[in-house]
Amino acid sequence: MIELKHVTKIYGQGKENLCVLEDVSLRIARGKFTVLLGPSGSGKSTLLNLIAMLDAPTSGKIFIDGKDVTALRSESSRAKLRLTKMGFVFQFDGLLPEFSLLENVDMPARMLGRSSTKKAQKLLERFGLGEMVHKLPADLSGGEKQRASIARALRNQPLLLLADEPTGNLDVQRKVQVFEDFARMSREEGLTILMVTHDVHAADFADEVFTLQNKQLVKTK
Ligand SMILES: Nc1ncnc2c1ncn2[C@@H]1O[C@H](COP(=O)(O)OP(=O)(O)OP(=O)(O)O)[C@@H](O)[C@H]1O
Ligand SMILES: [Mg+2]
């Protein structure tokens, strides 16, 4: 489902450059729940951004569902692939401040002309937010915003879910619920999940664990 071949990422140019990933190769099969660990600044978000096609590698290739996405030249083809096949939970929730939770969660479907507030409502209920669908993101707690952004990421029933510290603001109980939910969705619905976290307990729920350190990925489970 995800394949990286000899991916190197260098930010900046000349003397100012910073190499974050060096010759990283990775394969994640469909339906696997994979956890990515690593110290702050090790390049976890960078790796996710490359897979999400929000940034391009300095060298190397990335394949998503068999397609070489590093060869895609137009932003519109990347955007279409993103909207139809991928869901994202960003490190900072990324909800649109001027829209209600309901509108935020329905947004990915609306962009494809498939708006259904009923489906968005159901998703919000599933994440314990059924009572606050008309609130604006600014009026929610950090954990509520995180749960809403997970709901939004699932709205278009993606093949691939990329989640960057999606549980950083959640209490232990909610955190475990999300990990269990992710494990179940990968097992029962064939959803491929790549989740960045600092929580080592997440490893217990995952099929595979990689640790990013010194510009390299090491398989630790
Ligand atoms: N756009 C950018 N331009 C230059 N350097 C960047 C850019 N984005 C990230 N970096 C640098 O690359 C390194 C990796 O950053 P990244 O955000 O991928 O780390 P991370 O593993 O996600 O960290 P955290 O756990 O704190 O979120 C850091 O040293 C960061 O300062
Ligand atoms: Mg990060």
pLDDT digits (tens, 9 = 90+) for 26-69: 999 999 999 999 999 999 999 999 999 999 999 999 999 999 99
Predicted confidence (pLDDT) at residue 90 exceeds the cutoff of 90:
no
Query: What percent of the chain is predicted at pLDDT more than 70?
Result: 100
Ion ligand 2 nearby residues (CB, 5 A): 45, 91
pTM of the predicted structure, to 2 decimals:
0.95
Instruction: Examine the pLDDT at 14 and tell me if it is beyond 90.
Output: no
- pLDDT tier at 25 (50, 70, 90 boundaries)? very high
The burial of 97, by beta-carbon neighbours within 10 Å (0-12 exposed, 13-18 middle, 19 or more buried), is given as exposed
Report percent pLDDT > 90 for the chain: 93
What sections of 10-98 are H helices per DSSP? 44-51, 75-85
More confident residue, 193 or 174: 193
Considering Cα of 113, then 117, then 122, then 126, what sign does the dihedral take?
positive
Q: 108, 161 in Cβ contact below 8 A?
A: no
- Phi, psi of 216, deg, nearest 5: -125, 155
Is the predicted pLDDT of residue 93 greater than 80, yes or no? no
85 pLDDT higher than 90: yes
Ligand located closest to 43 CA = 1
Q: Give the distance, in angstroms, between the CA of residue 160 and the centroid of all CA atoms in the same chain.
A: 8
Take residue 48 and report the two structure tokens written for it: 């996710």
Q: How confident is the model at residue 192 (pLDDT cuts 50, 70, 90)?
A: very high
Question: For ligand 1, atom 6, which residue shows the shortest CA distance?
Answer: 11
**If you average pLDDT over residues 142-171, what whole number do you get?**
95
Phi-psi region at 113: left, alpha or beta (left = phi > 0; alpha = psi -120 to 50): left
Task: State the closest ligand 1 atom to the C-alpha of 11, by its place in the atom list counted from 1.
Answer: 4
Amino acid letter at 84?
Answer: T
CB 152 within 8 A of CB 95: yes
Q: What is the mean pLDDT of the segment spanning 79-108?
A: 93
Name the pLDDT band for 91 (thresholds 50, 70, 90). Answer: confident
What is the pLDDT at residue 82? 93
Q: Which residues form the pocket of ligand 1, taking CB atoms under 6 Å from any ligand atom?
A: 11-12, 18, 20, 38, 40-46, 91
- 200 burial (CB, 10 Å; 0-12 / 13-18 / 19+) is exposed
Domain 2-219 has CATH 3.30.160.270: no
- Residue located nearest, by CA, to atom 27 of ligand 1: 40
Mean pLDDT throughout 176-180? 94
The single-letter code of the amino acid at 25 is S
Q: How far is the CA of 41 from the centre of ligand 1 (A)?
A: 5
pLDDT of residue 5: 98
Give every CB contact of residue 159 below 8 A, 6+ residues apart in sequence.
1, 30, 65, 85, 86, 190, 191, 192
Task: Tell me if residue 111 falls in helix, strand or coil.
Answer: coil
Kindly identify the ligand whose nearest atom is closest to the C-alpha of 49: 1
Element (H, E) at 174: helix 172-189
Q: How confident is the model at residue 193 (pLDDT cuts 50, 70, 90)?
A: very high
- How far is Cα 113 from Cα 136, in angstroms, rounded to an integer? 23
Q: How far apart are CA 83 and CA 86, in angstroms?
A: 6
According to the model, what pLDDT value does residue 103 have?
98
Question: Contact at 8 Å (CB) between 43 and 98?
Answer: no
Distance 132 CA to ligand 2 centre (A): 28
Determine the residue of 7, 15, 17, 18 to mutate for testing ligand 1's pocket, defined as the one with the most ligand atoms within 8 A of the Cβ atom: 18
Residue 180 is predicted with a pLDDT of 96
